Structure 1
């Protein structure tokens, strides 16, 4: 199902790279979850995993935030389908654990937005990850 687009190109990029990843990197759980509709779907395609609804997405983020001291998403290259409210971004995920180990991943995310009463939010997120799945 296609949803009526409600964000322009710059707004889509801002939402995905600043609002969403900015809150993920800050480990701001509530603000990160606020980017999703209640029944959103979050899939890691390269690991064949899916998290359906905010409760499952919350649990995924709790594990992710707990596993790394520092989370950085950077060097975004975005492609936007403004007419259909979709965006994709390729980027580097830089993860530092408590032992000082650094994991670098070259990822690509695909987001589909859906309008809602409190603004557009992610309805679907599809992640392609270059290494082991860190979003279990």
Structure 2
């Protein structure tokens, strides 16, 4: 891959804004586990290797199981995820595939299991990782070899 601009170095104020978004998200009602599941699943959909690497490592540090991480791309087919996690994962997928829109069914399910504030916060968390994925993919950010 060809070398591309490193936005963090060239436009550090843009990163400050993104990190401000992350600071807001750190104080939401979303559990740390749900936030990491959102980040991993959206990054899988978008194909952002850097973010998948980063957030699977973060999830493991928080105690997330290998089994759930490995099954995340097939979450509908497993019994490993709670109703709240399933509602948020469905919402994450539809917000990420926004050209298809967010179905009433998915939205209403999320609205049944989350209060309005947490639902709004989940949408914002999904938007944030989509933005990070676009930064990572467009600039060819690569995960470090361990």
- Note whether the superposition's TM-score is higher than 0.5: no
Structure possessing the higher radius of gyration over alpha carbons: 2
TM-score by length of 1: 0.27
Give the structure, 1 or 2, with the largest relative contact order (CA under 8 Å, sep 6 or more). Answer: 2
Larger relative helix fraction = 2
Larger relative strand fraction = 1
